[in-house]
Every structure is written in structure tokens, then in C-alpha cells.
Amino acid sequence: MPIRGDFERALLEKINDLETLKSKVVFWQKEGEKVVFTNGVFDLLHIGHLTYMAKAANLGDKLIVGLNADSSVKRLKGEGRPVNDQANRAALLAAMFFVDGIVIFEEDTPLNIITTLLPDILVKGADYTIDNIVGAKQVIANGGEVKTIDLVEGYSSTSIIQRIKNQGT
């Protein structure tokens, strides 16, 4: 049983409110560590997510993930989403050894998180351009960088859900 308790405790230490995460980011940056931030829904975790997160983590020393809350996902993706609730999605992200912090947000965009944390590097998938990445202007104005990462073709939670639905017909 101790292993399970330690594992659960380790996961929970990564999932923070914004204020707690801000103090961690300030500490890390004072220590000279580069903080990377990305965000998303991460509903059905797949190899595309894992590859993307690993590449994002390799851009710096600490990786922070902004996770859309269930209410935000429902507004953005529609009824029936998310498939997995925010607690489960956060725990799966926290289990990734290269994820250092997670913050759940209710808004449709992570702008408040980005302007509060001011990461050194802001990352999104290559399906975005710097012009349409939320928070890019704020990160650049603070001396940070904005980068895009190529996605693993053929993988998305939406496409996986659609394939499952099609198998049922």
C-alpha cells in the first residue's frame, strides 16, 4: 500500500491552483530553469499527446500544462465531451514524468494563466500559427519565445471518438 499512497501523493503535488503554481514558476525561474507552458483538453490520451508533451518538455527544464476544465471542454467541443472528467485527465497528465505542473482552467482560453505565469517558452501544435496562439504577444513582450511542434498525423481525440462511434453502426 505505501507505493500506491506515494504515487497518488506525487500526482497530486503536480496538480496546483494558479497561485501555488505561480510561486513554483518564480522559484524555478530564479534558479535559472526554463519554464515551458502548453495547454489543451487532452481528453483521450494517445500517442500524439505523449509525443507532443515529450517534445515540449525537451524545449526547457520544467513543463507546465494548462488543462481545460470540464465546463470549458463542453463549451468548446460540445455535448458528450469531455469523455474523461478533469480529475482523470489531470491525473493522467501528472503521471507523465516530464510534466512538472498542471493547472485546470474554466475559461475558454488560458490567457489568464499565461499572463500570470509568464513562461519562458509557450508551445502549441503546428496546426497553430504564432499569430493565433493565445498569450503569444504577452510571452514575447516579456522576453520569452513561442514555438510550435509538429503533431503526430492521424491522432486526435475527436478522430478516435468518431472511429469508435462508426464501429457501433
Nearest alpha-carbon partner for 135 in 32, 64, 53, 43: 64
Residue 117 to residue 101: CA distance in whole angstroms = 12
Q: Which of 69, 73, 70 is nearest to 104 (CA)?
A: 69
**Window from 40-54, 77-91, 153-167 with minimum mean pLDDT:** 153-167
CA 77/CA 110 separation, integer angstroms: 16
Rounded to whole angstroms, how far apart are CA atoms 60 and 64?
11
86 exposure class (CB count in 10 Å sphere: 0-12, 13-18, 19+): buried
> Whole-number mean pLDDT of the chain?
89
Task: Output the CATH code of domain 2-167.
Answer: 3.40.50.620
Q: How far is CA 25 from CA 21, 22, 52, 117, in A?
A: 6, 5, 21, 7
Do the Cβ atoms of 46 and 89 come closer than 8 Å? no
Q: Which three cell numbers stand for residue 14?
A: 503536480
Position 39 scores a pLDDT of 97
C-alpha cell at 42: 487532452
Range of lowest pLDDT (33-37, 38-42, 79-83, 132-136): 79-83
Residue with cell 514575447: 140
Beta bridge mates, 145: 121
- Predicted TM-score (pTM) of the model is 0.88
Look at 2-16, 34-48, 63-77 and tell me which has the smallest mean pLDDT: 2-16
φ/ψ of 145, rounded to 5, equals -120, 155
Place of cell 489543451: 40
pLDDT of 44 reads: 82
Residues 132-150 have a mean pLDDT of 97
The DSSP secondary-structure symbol of 130 reads: G
Concatenating the DSSP letter of every residue in 81-118 gives --SS-HHHHHHHHHTSTT--EEEEE-SSS-HHHHHHH-
